[in-house]
Amino acid sequence: MAKPLILVSNDDGITSRGIKKLVELMKQLGEVIVVAPDSPQSGMGHAITVGDTLRIKENRLFGEEVRSYECSGTPADCVKLAKHHILKDRKPDLVVSGINHGSNSSISVLYSGTMSAAIEAAIEGTPAIGYSLCDYDPDAEMDHVDEYLLKVAQEVLDKGIPKGIALNVNFPASQSQKIKGIKVCRQANARWEEDFDQRVDPNGRKYFWMVGNFVNHDKGEDNDEWAIANNYVSVVPCQFDLTGHHAIRVLNDEWDI
Give the separation between CA 223 and CA 180, rounded to whole angstroms.
16
CATH number of the domain where residue 170 is located: 3.40.1210.10
Question: Within its chain, how far is the Cα of 10 from the centroid?
Answer: 7
Mean pLDDT confidence for 180-198: 91
Give the separation between CA 73 and CA 80, rounded to whole angstroms.
10
pLDDT of residue 157: 98
**Which residues neighbour 87 within 8 Å (Cβ) at sequence distance 6 or greater?**
5, 7, 33
Give the separation between CA 82 and CA 88, rounded to whole angstroms.
8
User: Would residue 179 count as lying in a domain?
Assistant: yes
Residue 191 confidence class, pLDDT cut points 50, 70, 90: confident
Q: Bridge-partner residues for 96, per DSSP?
A: 8, 129
What is the CA angle 66-17-24, rounded to 5?
35
pLDDT of residue 142: 94
User: Would residue 79 count as lying in a domain?
Assistant: yes
* pLDDT tens-digit readout, 20-32: 999 999 999 999 9
User: Would residue 78 count as lying in a domain?
Assistant: yes
Q: Bridge-partner residues for 101, per DSSP?
A: 133
pLDDT of residue 41: 85
Mean pLDDT of the chain, nearest integer: 94
pLDDT of residue 190: 83
User: Would residue 193 count as lying in a domain?
Assistant: no
* pLDDT tens-digit readout, 48-66: 999 999 999 999 999 989 9
* pLDDT tens-digit readout, 90-128: 999 999 999 999 999 998 999 999 999 999 999 999 999
User: Would residue 39 count as lying in a domain?
Assistant: yes
Counting the structural domains of the chain, the total is 1
Among 118-122, 190-194, 252-256, the range scoring the smallest mean pLDDT is 190-194
- Selected residue with higher pLDDT from 127 and 175: 127
What percent of the chain shows pLDDT beyond 70? 100
Pairing of β 56-59 and β 31-37: unpaired
User: Would residue 239 count as lying in a domain?
Assistant: yes
* pLDDT tens-digit readout, 206-248: 999 888 888 888 898 999 999 999 999 999 999 999 999 999 9
Owning domain of residue 107: 5-188+219-254
pLDDT of residue 212: 81
pTM here?
Answer: 0.92
Residue 192 confidence class, pLDDT cut points 50, 70, 90: confident
What is the CA angle 186-192-198, rounded to 5?
165
Q: Which residues define the annotated binding site for a divalent metal cation?
A: 11-12, 42, 100
User: Would residue 194 count as lying in a domain?
Assistant: no
CB distance 101 to 62 below 8 Å: no
pLDDT reading at 1 higher than 80? no
pLDDT of residue 56: 95
- Selected residue with higher pLDDT from 219 and 8: 8
Q: Which residues define the annotated binding site?
A: 11-12, 42, 100
pLDDT reading at 44 higher than 90? no
User: Would residue 112 count as lying in a domain?
Assistant: yes
